């Protein structure tokens, strides 16, 4: 009874204090919203990249999402931090300096998440970068959508040609020389080396956003007492937060430079024809910065070095395939490259699929539609969210007079874009619906045409 009375009194005191001022009310609201957001961040995904299941995708429903392994750790840290925040408040019934420090740590930890995803989770980040690259390739001013806009309404699509794939998959760009020569021109790289790329932004989940909002709101709340903002505490929090960020950024930035040193050394050894040592240096660079192993140039370079050492690996096989392609021996090249699409190495697999897609695009542009169709399907099974491919397959459907393929690809596009954050996805969806309208025209289905056109206007 006495406990209940105490509790009631406490609640009464809380309510009275809450309504004592507008500031107090706002701070309580912010604290509740922050707690809610952080709680939600524990439930929601922080980062998901849509990929094919292990056995390959046959329909949009098969698409699965992969998450970086570190996500669970971050969520656990957030859970512990949230509990600590609540306990710190319950301890004194108001926010203390401990609460401020905890909130600062939570903010810093949340900001560090992109680094651990984009630079320390190579497969996930490479998949994200590859999909983002497809997206940009379609949408930039020289991309398929802009270039083919002139023929957008042509049912035949006979003048619609496909634009080649991006030159290279690269998650981070290396520093060219040394830290001494870092200038303002590398600002973007500095951000990339901390994981802040558009690839991250496009696949970031609600969980991370909620964690950012929640930790920021809690930090804001912890800087006041009784609705009065405490500048001393804010200064401390700011200093602590800045120190954490600077330290973390320093560590983060050191790795590309160290990796670059190894790569420069590797290049030097290669030119001295010490290929084994060169390869070892290259691998040291990758051990420092695992995401380098996903780079198109790394794969090609490693193939060259291993070839010189007389080894037979997937890297050398891919290199041989590309060399055959370069020499114009296309059948042999395709055979070599397509055999690697089942490789255990995801980087090789991706490059091989890129090769297959390259062939398919050339087939399409040369009107060998059956060949291109088959080859596109090889890729789609492995990369069901490859935007470029889905778009191209719609065109293929129109050129081949297969409306069902066009409609099916529209569903794939919707499924894939559901997992993307950028607003530019509506452009893709609109184009997909426009293709469906053309496809419906093939079947003389006026209602379907009208529906598709409506959806193209408001995708």
Site for another protein in 258-297 (CB under 8 A): 260, 263-264, 266-267, 270-271, 273, 282, 285, 295-297
**Residue 91 binds another protein, judged by CB under 8 A:** no
- Three-state DSSP class for 93? coil
Query: Taking CB under 8 A as the criterion, which residues in 429-458 touch another protein?
Result: 429-431, 434, 442, 456-457
Residue from 7, 13, 231, 246 in contact with another protein (CB under 8 A): 231
**Residue 422 binds another protein, judged by CB under 8 A:** yes
Total binding residues for another protein by CB under 8 A?
114
**Residue 414 binds another protein, judged by CB under 8 A:** no
**Residue 33 binds another protein, judged by CB under 8 A:** no
The two structure tokens encoding residue 425: 């996805």
Residue closer to another protein by CB (options 36, 166) is: 166
**Residue 310 binds another protein, judged by CB under 8 A:** no
Q: How far is CA 350 from the centre of its chain?
A: 15
Residue from 55, 61, 184, 444 in contact with another protein (CB under 8 A): 184
H-assigned helices in 292-445 = 296-308, 314-326, 330-338, 346-365, 369-382, 387-400, 403-417, 425-442
**Residue 205 binds another protein, judged by CB under 8 A:** no
CA distances from 214 to 26, 229, 351 (A): 15, 19, 40
Residue closer to another protein by CB (options 64, 448) is: 448
Alpha-carbon gap, residue 300 to 339, rounded angstroms: 17
Residue from 174, 293, 324, 420 in contact with another protein (CB under 8 A): 174
Rounded least distance, CB 62 to another protein, Å = 27
Q: With CA atoms as reference, report the closest residue to 265 among 283, 255, 278, 284.
A: 278
376-380 contacts, C-beta under 8 A, 24 or more apart: 378/338, 378/341, 378/353, 379/353, 380/57, 380/412
Q: Contact region for another protein (CB under 8 A) — 66-74, 179-187, 243-251, 444-452? A: 179-187
H-assigned helices in 44-94 = 70-92
Residue closer to another protein by CB (options 12, 158) is: 158
Rounded least distance, CB 75 to another protein, Å = 20
Rounded least distance, CB 21 to another protein, Å = 4
Rounded least distance, CB 28 to another protein, Å = 11
**Cβ neighbours of residue 440 closer than 8 Å, sequence gap 6 or more:** 403, 448, 449, 451, 452
Query: Could you tell me which residues are beta bridge partners of residue 65?
Result: 50
Q: Contact region for another protein (CB under 8 A) — 37-45, 52-60, 98-106, 218-226? A: 218-226
**Residue 369 binds another protein, judged by CB under 8 A:** yes
Rounded least distance, CB 370 to another protein, Å = 4
Residue from 44, 225, 258, 399 in contact with another protein (CB under 8 A): 399
Alpha-carbon gap, residue 177 to 257, rounded angstroms: 8
**Residue 355 binds another protein, judged by CB under 8 A:** yes
Q: Contact region for another protein (CB under 8 A) — 39-47, 100-108, 354-362, 379-387? A: 354-362
Residue from 39, 45, 96, 147 in contact with another protein (CB under 8 A): 147
Residue closer to another protein by CB (options 48, 301) is: 301
Alpha-carbon gap, residue 10 to 74, rounded angstroms: 34
Q: Contact region for another protein (CB under 8 A) — 25-33, 58-66, 409-417, 444-452? A: 25-33
Q: With CA atoms as reference, report the closest residue to 416 among 59, 47, 60, 58.
A: 60
Rounded least distance, CB 296 to another protein, Å = 5
Q: Tokens 């709340």 sit at which residue?
A: 221
x-marked contacts with another protein along 104-143 as a string, rule CB under 8 A = -------------------------x---x--xx-xxxxx
Q: Contact region for another protein (CB under 8 A) — 36-44, 68-76, 364-372, 407-415? A: 364-372
Residue closer to another protein by CB (options 215, 301) is: 301
H-assigned helices in 205-328 = 206-222, 231-271, 275-288, 296-308, 314-326
Q: For 163, phi and psi rounded to 5 degrees? A: -95, 145
Rounded least distance, CB 130 to another protein, Å = 10
Residue from 6, 12, 23, 59 in contact with another protein (CB under 8 A): 23
Alpha-carbon gap, residue 389 to 357, rounded angstroms: 8
**Cβ neighbours of residue 160 closer than 8 Å, sequence gap 6 or more:** 148, 151, 154, 395
Buried b (16+ CB within 10 A) or exposed e, 207-230: bbbbbbbbbbbbbbbbbbeebeeb
In contact, 322 and 337? CB cutoff 8 Å: yes
Residue from 80, 93, 181, 276 in contact with another protein (CB under 8 A): 181
């Amino acid at each position: 009874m006495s406990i209940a009375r105490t509790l009631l009194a406490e609640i009464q005191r809380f309510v009275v204090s809450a309504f004592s001022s507008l500031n107090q009310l706002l701070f309580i609201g912010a604290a509740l919203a922050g707690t809610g957001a952080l709680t939600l961040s524990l439930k929601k995904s922080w980062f998901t990249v849509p990929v094919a299941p292990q056995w390959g995708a046959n329909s949009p429903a098969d698409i699965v999402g992969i998450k970086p392994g570190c996500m669970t750790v971050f969520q656990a840290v957030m859970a512990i931090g949230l509990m600590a925040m609540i306990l710190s408040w319950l301890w004194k019934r108001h926010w203390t300096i401990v609460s401020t420090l905890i909130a600062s740590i939570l903010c810093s930890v949340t900001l560090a998440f992109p680094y651990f995803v984009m630079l320390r989770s190579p497969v996930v980040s490479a998949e994200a970068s590859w999909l983002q690259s497809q997206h940009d390739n379609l949408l930039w001013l020289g991309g398929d959508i802009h270039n083919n806009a002139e023929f957008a309404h042509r049912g035949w699509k006979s003048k619609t040609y496909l634009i080649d794939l991006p030159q290279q998959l690269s998650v981070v760009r290396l520093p060219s020389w040394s830290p001494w020569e870092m200038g303002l021109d590398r600002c973007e790289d500095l951000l990339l080396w901390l994981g802040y790329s558009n690839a991250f932004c496009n696949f970031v989940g609600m969980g991370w956003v909620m964690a950012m909002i929640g930790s920021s709101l809690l930090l804001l709340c912890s800087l006041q007492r009784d609705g009065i903002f405490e500048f001393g505490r804010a200064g401390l929090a700011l200093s602590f937060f800045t120190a954490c960020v600077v330290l973390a950024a320093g560590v983060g930035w050191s790795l590309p430079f160290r990796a670059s040193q190894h790569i420069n050394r590797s290049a030097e050894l290669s030119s001295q024809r010490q290929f084994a040592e060169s390869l070892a240096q290259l691998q040291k660079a990758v051990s420092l910065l695992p995401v380098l192993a996903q780079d198109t140039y790394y794969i090609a370079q490693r193939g060259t070095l291993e070839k010189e050492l007389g080894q037979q690996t997937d890297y050398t096989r891919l290199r041989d395939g590309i060399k055959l392609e370069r020499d114009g021996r296309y059948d042999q090249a395709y055979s070599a490259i397509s055999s690697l699409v089942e490789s255990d190495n995801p980087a090789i697999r991706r490059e091989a699929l890129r090769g297959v897609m390259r062939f398919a695009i050339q087939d399409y542009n040369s009107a060998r539609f059956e060949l291109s169709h088959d080859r596109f399907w090889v890729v789609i099974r492995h990369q069901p969210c490859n935007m470029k491919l889905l778009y191209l397959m719609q065109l293929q459907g129109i050129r081949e007079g297969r409306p069902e393929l066009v409609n099916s690809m529209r569903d794939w596009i919707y499924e894939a874009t559901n997992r993307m954050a950028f607003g530019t996805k509506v452009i893709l969806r609109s184009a997909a619906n426009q293709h469906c309208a053309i496809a419906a025209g093939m079947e003389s289905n006026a209602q379907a045409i009208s529906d598709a056109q409506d959806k193209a206007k408001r995708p």
